Amino acid sequence: MVIREGRLDGVWRAHHRLLLARLDFQRLILAAARSGASEREIRNSVHGHCPDVRELLQEAEKLPPVPEGFSGSGPYEICQRYAVGLLTREQLVDELTRWDYPPRSWPRDYFDDYMVDPPGSWLEVEEAESDGLIDISTYGEVLNRRHPDES
Domain boundaries, the chain: 1-63, 69-105+113-151
Residue environment code for 76-85, b if the CB has 16+ CB neighbours within 10 A, otherwise e: bbbbbbbbbe
Q: Residue 59: which residues within 8 A CB-CB, separation 6 or more? A: 26
Tens digits of residue pLDDT in 15-52: 999 999 999 999 999 999 999 999 889 988 888 777 78
Other beta carbons less than 10 A from residue 43's beta carbon: 19
Confidence of residue 148 (pLDDT cuts 50, 70, 90): confident
pLDDT, residue 86, reads: 97
3-state secondary structure of 116: strand
Nearest to 141 by CA among 84, 90, 77: 90
pLDDT in tens, 53-110: 889 899 999 999 999 999 999 999 999 999 999 999 999 999 999 999 998 776 666 6
Distance, CA of 50 to CA of 65 (rounded, Å): 22
pTM: 0.86
Q: Which amino acid is at 101?
A: Y
